[in-house]
Structure 1
Amino acid sequence: MRRSKYRRANSPAWFSGRRRIVVVAAAALAAFGGVVTVTQISNAATEGDTVTDQALAACGNLQAPARSRLSTQTRKGTYTTNNGQVTQHADDGAGDVATTAQLQARCREWVTNNVSSTTDANTLARRGRGNGNNGNNNNGNNNGGNNNGGNQGNNGGNNNGGNAGASASPAATATQATTAPADNGNNNGGNNNGGNNNGGNNNGGNNNGGNNGGGAVTPPPGAGLGVLTNSCDTSDLEAHDGFQKGNRCVSTEFGEVGAAANNPTLLITNAPRQVNRNTPFTIQVSTRNLIRDRFLAAGQGGYYVESSVLQGGLVRGHFHTACRILDNRNAAPAPEPVPAFFVATEDSRGGAQPDTVAIQVPGLPQAGEFQCSSWAGDGSHRIPMMERANQTPAFDSIRVRVR
């Protein structure tokens, strides 16, 4: 039978046993920033070291990212407005850059709290089993398929977003990395497509689990549509590490999508059409079906690392507001220049009923026409998903003339 391109290739001999566990753990450490390559981890894996020792050693390879360009007029850092009720994160937290020492310390703390006992137990559990049991129990139904690869893929998203603060992500990643050591434990079972697509139904449950221990083959979502790929397994790009870097492949699952009636919406309800240069003004933004309580700073490695999480059917996240000058009203603007103003708004409010937040712009620096936009974001700063394809995303945009 021809092997489906949606199924992962068999792991090479070196990617097994302790080496595999450490690679899985190291992949989880990407949430702390910095890329620890498979080569580095595999070379560090020796039979004389424990899994914990190897993972701790990998933490020493983490390096702080370079600082990104920031908006020109935004007040720097994190601050509050509206009498202290609203928290504003300038540039999505891009200016709050972690140091190498911070990254390595967070990494070691995560390894100490999450890797040792569970990982070693799963290493022992995976060894000494016959092929039949390994296929049906570890790969097919229990670890790779329904229990850990399928459900824990989703639970990883829930846990990731469930706890407040930037420390929520490591705990969820620990579950994904340490409870699914089989073929699809981390890539397809935990982080990439394990929740619904590959780990639960396709690769972990039936395809790869079936090959190792017997079972039926289930077509992947979108079968017959000519899908190019549905995971980073087929990408030649480096893994995304939670920082603001392009030419990377993001393996974080999309996560939970709510019902159409619960999908977020957003509207700019009031803003000036004309202002003077360097004169402060206010933009009123209303959101519905958005709980504004999840924010992971981009400069701390929180970019594209958290799956979408629902609470009572509603997305947990925040919203953004930015203003950029338009050099040409008749052509789409270049994407790379930094805007004059950019904040991410988190105030632990919002819900099913619409409410309004006042965004205070400190002033725009030059004469011309500016585009000021607001859009909702989930925990990883992406516009929230919608149940139907013909719904309007949670965004709005206006023009402001600066004279």
Structure 2
Amino acid sequence: MRRSHHGRTSTDSGQRRRLLAVAAALAVFGGLIGVTQISNAETQQAAPTCKPTSPASPGGSPGTGGDAAAPGATATGTPPASGEECEEPEGGATATASAPASPGGNPPAGGGLNPLGKDCKGSDLPAHTGFQEGGRCVSTAFGELGAAAENPALLISEAPRKVRAGQPFRLVVSTRNLVRDRFLPAARGGYYLESSVLNEDGLVRGHFHTACRMLTSTSEAADPAPVPAFFVATEDGKGGAEPDSVIVEVPGLPAGLAQCSSWAGDGSHRIPMMVRANQIPALDSVRIYVEAAEEEPPANEPGNE
């Protein structure tokens, strides 16, 4: 018995709908995978593979590695006579790195990248003087960087959710891998003045700051310029590899919504460096609602005690 034309058409239409549904599901799934891959690209991308290149002689043949510059070379923008040719993974473009290969076979420093600057030589801004002034160029080197397991961490472990305006309260701050014994006073020119320094155990020597500012919005980033309602630096000579806690006394805040933050600093007030880009720096914040203080009732009012 032959199936009618109408039956065949219905069957074909149903099959096409099912195929379209499967294709759409695969497209959505592929999009999700693509988003995940893009979001992890910065931390999981493989380092470029590099191979040494021989210095070129004036005639185009391999040179002897002497100090003579190639004919026609200029003072800026000219790659060195020898280096490494680095190829980005997944068929990326090649780039010539100026640093020679390290003894361990690692890629050269910078991975063939072209930084916009490493010091203040090309800056038009005046040199930073160690005081808290903007519009300056800081030439101080970053300094010593410890192992990932020894990078500082910080947590505000205790804080009130609500206080009265002007009412003193406490914040409890816990730090790990931070030796709180180094603090160059910023008011005396110690801001961004010295490089980061590690102790004999590979831990950052520094301190931590605590500040509270009053927020005017919870949907937009706050204006960074105003002085916070509260600020203090803690350098008590303690701290180490094991986590410990410090009580920070806040004398009181005005009414409103406060953002209270604590963050570690090295000896010159910079947040300590982390080994990896996906490590969270040593900082933490909480929000505290500060209620307006109630007025005291007159002495002759009933209920006044």
TM range (shorter): 0.5 to 0.7
Supply the distance in 1 between the matched residues of 2:110 and 2:78 (Cα, whole angstroms).
11
The equivalent residue for 2:238 is 349
The equivalent residue for 1:274 is 162
CA contact (8 A) 1:375 1:395 kept: yes
Matches within 5 A, 1:218-367: 221-222=109-110, 224-311=112-199, 312-365=201-254, 367=255
State the 1:401 CA deviation: 0.2
Deviation per residue, 1:105-156 (Å, 9 max, x gap): xxxxxxxxxxxxxxxxxxxxxxxxxxxxxxxxxxxxxxxxxxxxxxxxxxxx
More strand by share: 2
Supply the distance in 1 between the matched residues of 2:155 and 2:193 (Cα, whole angstroms).
27
Matches within 5 A, 1:186-225: 221-222=109-110, 224-225=112-113
Supply the distance in 2 between the matched residues of 1:254 and 1:308 (Cα, whole angstroms).
6
Query: Structure 1 residue 389 and structure 2 residue 277: aligned?
Result: yes
Runs of 5+ consecutive residues of structure 1 not aligned to the other structure:
8-200, 207-218
The equivalent residue for 1:380 is 268
Provide the TM-score with structure 1 as the length reference: 0.46
The equivalent residue for 2:286 is 398
Provide the TM-score with structure 2 as the length reference: 0.61
Q: CA RMSD in A?
A: 2.1
More helix by share: 1
Larger relative contact order (CA 8 Å, sep ≥ 6): 1
Matches within 5 A, 1:52-63: none
Deviation per residue, 1:130-188 (Å, 9 max, x gap): xxxxxxxxxxxxxxxxxxxxxxxxxxxxxxxxxxxxxxxxxxxxxxxxxxxxxxxxxxx
SS at match of 2:121: helix
The equivalent residue for 1:39 is none
Matches within 5 A, 1:36-47: none
Supply the distance in 1 between the matched residues of 2:223 and 2:134 (Cα, whole angstroms).
16
Which residue identity lines up with residue 337 of structure 1 in the other structure?
Answer: P
Runs of 5+ consecutive residues of structure 2 not aligned to the other structure:
1-72, 80-97, 101-106, 292-305
SS at match of 1:249: coil
**CA shift in 2, pair 1:374/1:273, >3 Å:** same
Report the identity percentage: 64
Would you identify which runs of 4 or more consecutive aligned residues in structure 1 move more than 4 Å? 4-7
Structure whose alpha-carbon radius of gyration is higher = 2
Number of equivalent positions: 194
State the 1:5 CA deviation: 5.5
Which residue identity lines up with residue 243 of structure 2 in the other structure?
Answer: P
Which residue identity lines up with residue 126 of structure 2 in the other structure?
Answer: E
Supply the distance in 2 between the matched residues of 1:331 and 1:264 (Cα, whole angstroms).
29
The equivalent residue for 2:75 is 3
State the 1:224 CA deviation: 3.1
State the 1:220 CA deviation: 8.0
Supply the distance in 2 between the matched residues of 1:6 and 1:343 (Cα, whole angstroms).
50
